[in-house]
Chains A and B, each alone.
Chain A
Amino acid sequence: MTHSNYQSWGRYPKATHTIAPLYWRTDPLPLPEDHSKKVLPYGMGRSYGDSCLNNGGTLFPTRALNHFLQFDSETGILTCEAGVTLGEILAFCVSKHWFLPVTPGTQFVTVGGAIANDVHGKNHHRAGTFGNHVLEFELLRSNGERLLCSPNHNQPYYAATIGGLGLTGLITWATLQLKPIHHRALHTETCPFANLDNYFELSNESDHFCEYTVAWVDCSANGPNLGRGLLFRGNHLKPEEVPKHWKVPSRNFRLPLNLPGFFLNSWTVRTFNQWYYQRQQPKTTLPILQDYQPFFYPLDSIQDWNKLYGKTGFLQYQLTVPAHDRSIIKNIFQTIANSGLNSFLAVLKTFGDHSSPGLLSFPRPGVTLALDFPIKGAKTFKLLDYLDDQVAEAQGAVYPAKDARLSPRHFQTYFPQWETLANYIDPRFSSSFWRRVTAQTSPTKPILTNTSPSENPSTQQPSTLEANHSPTPSHLGTESPSKPHSTLPTPTNSDKTAQDISQ
């Protein structure tokens, strides 16, 4: 049975799938008989682009794999199935005074998705990525093999699966190290900054005494106001700060339908951004007690907020570039401001230098900027193509979990370790994203089976990149069981490679 209602969060590109939900972790994978049909696990569909899509293939929805296996209230070690959401973990553990070690901006993601995208949060400068706190997991491969993966067991598969975009097999369950808290509330502050230099000063200072920092930036501001915004920072409560009474907020609003495409136009976005910046002004640096829900997940209270962008969907773009040279990120802001395309939400955060165990992990020391753009035809794609080049020149990277349009050339420049990952991909697993970014760019050999944006820039742009541009080391280096391919693997020849490994 084919379905068109399993989409990504950005609702672009559209895809059609055969659906085979998973119900029990002990069951074998319901693989299609046709071996050319690829499969991909699908959790909450919160990836923005096409990394959670497998157009023309099969999706394995994992949400019914939502059983807990074990919890030790002394050590905070939790073992649960991969379809459990972070929200379900919090609902379970917060009252027991444990919290997620790392959480992204939504609690509506599964544990499997959090590992597959090696998600990060407002405490990256302290805690690294989600993968840093995954003690072990079980990986079910299409040949029926169940691999226990940890830093000590099947380490190459452990590394390849963290940030491995769901391609290395099905994560059935995982063991996480939670962190102790005293109360569900946090001490939070909102601090305005007038420009990017101010941001760096404020952020660097805050990172010393705040566990959580993140900034919202008014992308429509230009000139002397370029990069103005608000920094949100917070800490869990100390025992002596715990309030006697606490009212748990309950607000929930579901956006019932797609808003018309013109709802988010440059005027509404600019006005919103200006209003939001002004509104926060009087509240400066007055610390308040805030529940963890609105602090970590402000958008979760509007369910289906992606429908704000109408049926055509939107593009999210998250980049990271080194922070030692501030002109890099300034130039990027200038590019966006000059383009006249406003991002409704722009989020800025300085990453720490914790390295993740994940092979294809996105965060690296520097500053990261997340933007979302309504799709306004070719000019939106053109802007992002231009940013791709700027990021590549700065030896940065773009986040696969949010991407729907990156060219193979750019992806492979940002993540040269992709060829090592290809060795560990399960021969029956693939995704729209993976087929797109590993496709050979020559127009005479189209490998893409999925619909790609008509504005696909990969064949049009002059190359400004050098082959060995990015210095990112391969974590697997010595342990790789076979040498990376000299040519780009396609879905068919990666089959062969992965079989070689499993023998």
Chain B
Amino acid sequence: MTSYPKPQKTLILGATSAIAQETAKLLAQHHHHLFLIARDPQKLAIVAQDLQVRGASQIHTATFDLNQFEHHDALFTQVTTQLQGIDIVLIAHGSLPDQHACEQDYSTAEAALRTNFLSTLSLLTKLANYMQNQGHGCLAVISSVAGDRARQSNYIYGTAKGALNLYLQGLRNRLHRNHICVLTIKPGFVDTPMTQHFKKGLLWAQPQQIAHGIVQAIEKRKDIVYLPWFWQIIMLVIKTIPEPIFKRLKL
């Protein structure tokens, strides 16, 4: 089943998230050499054990809370020393903030931006430079369709993801000449622990579907991918609604 001559070296941040887990399962089947980072050591051990059985050629793990930016340097050093080169980075951590709480309290809104945008900026600063020197690789980041247009029901999350999209756009432009692929992943509604309190309807996808899309997009060196594909059409429609009308909608 090996589709690569050498095992790819892949770093996954937020490795216990549902989408990251399913993506990592596919990569493990292709015998990737994995470095997994997550907050909870017990959950991380469950995921690492699973990926070992599924065929990962080698697995390293480290427990970090990515909200503690002061530890990002230590994380970077540990990863680069142990992996000796990185082919793929998948950034999958994040949280869905309580929109209402964010509206009442700035520190809650700020925390949401730190988790969903600034932590990635901090991590990618070093990782992007590392890849630039290396001259190859892929930076795949899970954003969201929520970043395409902000709406009243979750615009703090949308702001963070929108900022993330712009940042990745710039980074992609900068690193293109260095043969680095920067992939912005925009999932729609996904049935994960993060969304367990939502009522699920027709538009909802399983994390397995999203994972297949991510692996395909990485292989095809895509720039932006909507998952599942129909979200590209939905968001196209939503983005074309003129603001004078959009502001009246209850979305």
Q: Which residues of A contact B (CB under 8 A)?
A: 1, 3, 5, 21, 23-26, 64, 67-71, 92, 95
Contacts and interface: CB of A to CB of B under 8 A. Distances in A.
Contacts of B200: 5
Interface in B175-195: 193
Contact of A67 (B18, B49, B193): B49
A21 B49 contact: no
A252 B18 CA distance: 25
A15 B251 CA distance: 31
B54 interface: yes
B49 A68 contact: yes
A26 B18 contact: no
B203 to A, nearest CB: 14
Contact of B199 (A1, A25, A71): A1
Nearest to A70: B53
A1 to B, nearest CB: 6
Contacts of A25: 46
27 contacts: A1-B197, A1-B199, A3-B199, A5-B200, A21-B193, A21-B196, A23-B193, A24-B42, A24-B46, A25-B46, A26-B42, A26-B43, A26-B46, A64-B193, A67-B46, A67-B47, A67-B49, A67-B50, A68-B49, A68-B50, A68-B53, A68-B54, A69-B49, A69-B50, A70-B53, A71-B53, A95-B1
Contacts of A70: 49, 53
Q: Which of A1, A64, A70 has the most CB of B within 10 A?
A: A64
Nearest to B46: A67
Contacts of B43: 24, 26
A23 B207 CA distance: 13
Contacts of A71: 53
Interface residues of B, number: 15
Contacts of A67: 46-47, 49-50
Contacts of A95: 1
Contacts of A23: 193
Contacts of B42: 24, 26
Nearest to B193: A23
Interface string B35-65: 0000000110011011001100000000000
Interface in B140-164: none
The 4 closest A-B pairs by CB, nearest first: A67-B50, A68-B53, A68-B50, A71-B53
A92 B46 contact: no
A92 B54 contact: yes
Given A24-B46, A69-B50, 10 more contacts: A1-B199, A21-B193, A25-B46, A26-B46, A67-B46, A67-B47, A68-B54, A69-B53, A70-B49, A71-B53
Contacts of A3: 199
Interface string B1-12: 100000000000
Nearest to B45: A26
Nearest to B28: A68
Interface of B: 1, 18, 42-43, 46-47, 49-50, 53-54, 193, 196-197, 199-200
A189 B53 CA distance: 36
A3 B199 CA distance: 8
A64 B207 CA distance: 10
A408 B43 CA distance: 43
Contacts of A92: 54
Nearest to B206: A63
Contacts of A24: 42-43, 46
Contacts of B50: 67-69
A79 to B, nearest CB: 9
Nearest to B42: A26
A68 B28 CA distance: 12
A68 B53 CA distance: 7
Contact of A64 (B18, B49, B54): B18
A26 B43 CA distance: 8
A23 B42 CA distance: 13
Contacts of B47: 67
Nearest to A67: B50
A69 B42 CA distance: 14
A26 B41 CA distance: 12
Nearest to B16: A24
Nearest to B198: A1
Contacts of A21: 193, 196
B178 to A, nearest CB: 37
B1 to A, nearest CB: 7
Contacts of B199: 1, 3
A238 B246 CA distance: 66
Contacts of B18: 64
A67 B42 CA distance: 13
B108 to A, nearest CB: 23
Nearest to A72: B53
A248 to B, nearest CB: 13
Contacts of B1: 95
A3 B196 CA distance: 12
A67 B193 CA distance: 16
Contacts of B197: 1
A5 B204 CA distance: 13
Nearest to B29: A92
Contacts of A68: 49-50, 53-54
A69 B47 CA distance: 9
A18 B122 CA distance: 40
Contacts of A64: 18, 193
B113 to A, nearest CB: 26
A69 B53 CA distance: 7
A244 B104 CA distance: 67
A3 B193 CA distance: 16
A24 B49 CA distance: 13
A476 to B, nearest CB: 33
